[in-house]
């Protein structure tokens, strides 16, 4: 069900970009929307992994580098990879005290899993296994690519709306009725103001849906939901006590939202509430 929901939401996001581009900037806007979608999807596919790891100064975890972390984490990751039929991902260490983790990469053969120093200090091996299975669930379902595409499409919609808004302010935004396809200035203004908000809401809904799926994968491949339940409870508490210096552009990648404040509205959150996630996991027992 969540997979179908994600496909529908991505289709809606793409339609909003294409139709919004036409409504905001006419036929040329439609073409621009398509070009922006193609370019940003290409960039997302090939470069999201490197950019995410660089932005957090992630360090490789190998037998030679960060060996103590390697000999603790690698056996856990390898065990879950064998159960899921995945190749071993690259492992990374983020030098931050706030406990968190994320997976990234365009496909299972080019995947990475990153852990903060804080999460390794906080969790025992069973809880860490639950977290690892969650992150590898994202890899198995190719959620990293899906989330990156959603973020890029939403960014393109916001960019188009911003261009049209500045064009209206400086008087450079005018088209005749034929180019406008019969649309009114009021409809244009409606799209300029609301299209970015709609895009953000769709993007957030996609992110929340994929988190539920990764939680379910963790329960399935570890054989129990309780490892992740225990881990989520610790993360929910300590990620708020120790804030993380994280970019809003990559917040959706982490296992829990890397900010201390709670969202005023669930619609605007990249993650479901921890309470909802735990409730779903407990229902799997």
Residues labelled catalytic: 135
Cβ burial, residue 146 (10 Å; 0-12/13-18/19+):
buried
**What is the chain's alpha carbon radius of gyration, rounded to the nearest angstrom?**
21
- Token duo for residue 99: 């406990």
Q: What is d(CA 49, CA 185) in angstroms, rounded to the nearest whole number? A: 41
- At how many degrees (to 10) do helices 274-282 and 185-222 cross? 40
What ranges make up the beta strands (E) of the chain? Answer: 59-60, 90-94, 101-105, 111-116
Residue 106 per-residue DSSP state: S
Interacting residues of 12 by C-beta distance below 8 A, sequence separation 6+: 202
Cβ burial, residue 79 (10 Å; 0-12/13-18/19+):
middle
Residue 225's SS3 state is coil
Q: What is d(CA 49, CA 54) in angstroms, rounded to the nearest whole number? A: 9
Contact, 197 vs 263, CB < 8 A? no
């Amino acid at each position: 069900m969540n997979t179908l929901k994600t496909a529908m939401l991505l289709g809606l996001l793409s339609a909003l970009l294409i139709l919004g581009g036409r409504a905001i900037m006419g036929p040329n806007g439609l073409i621009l929307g398509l070009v922006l979608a193609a370019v940003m999807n290409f960039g997302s596919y090939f470069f999201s992994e490197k950019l995410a790891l660089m932005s957090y100064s992630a360090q490789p975890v190998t037998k030679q580098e960060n060996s103590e972390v390697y000999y603790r984490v690698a056996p856990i990751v390898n065990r879950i990879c064998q159960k899921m039929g995945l190749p071993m991902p690259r492992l990374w260490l983020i030098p931050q005290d706030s406990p968190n983790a994320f997976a990234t990469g365009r496909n299972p053969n080019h995947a990475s899993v990153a852990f903060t120093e804080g999460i390794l200090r906080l969790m025992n091996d069973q809880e860490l296994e639950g977290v690892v299975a969650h992150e590898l669930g994202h890899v198995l379902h190719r959620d990293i690519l899906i989330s990156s595409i959603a973020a890029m499409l939403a960014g393109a919609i916001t960019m188009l709306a911003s261009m049209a808004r500045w064009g209206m302010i400086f008087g450079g935004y005018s088209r005749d009725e034929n180019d406008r396809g019969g649309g009114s200035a009021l409809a244009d203004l409606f799209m300029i103001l609301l299209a970015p908000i709609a895009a953000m809401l769709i993007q957030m809904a996609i992110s929340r849906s994929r988190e539920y799926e990764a939680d379910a994968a963790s329960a399935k491949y570890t054989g129990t939901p309780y490892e992740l339940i225990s881990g989520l409870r610790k993360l929910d508490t300590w990620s708020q006590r120790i804030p993380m210096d994280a970019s809003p552009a990559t917040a959706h990648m982490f296992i829990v939202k890397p900010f201390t404040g709670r969202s005023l509205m669930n619609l605007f959150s990249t993650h479901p509430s921890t309470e909802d996630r735990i409730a779903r996991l407990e229902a799997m027992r």
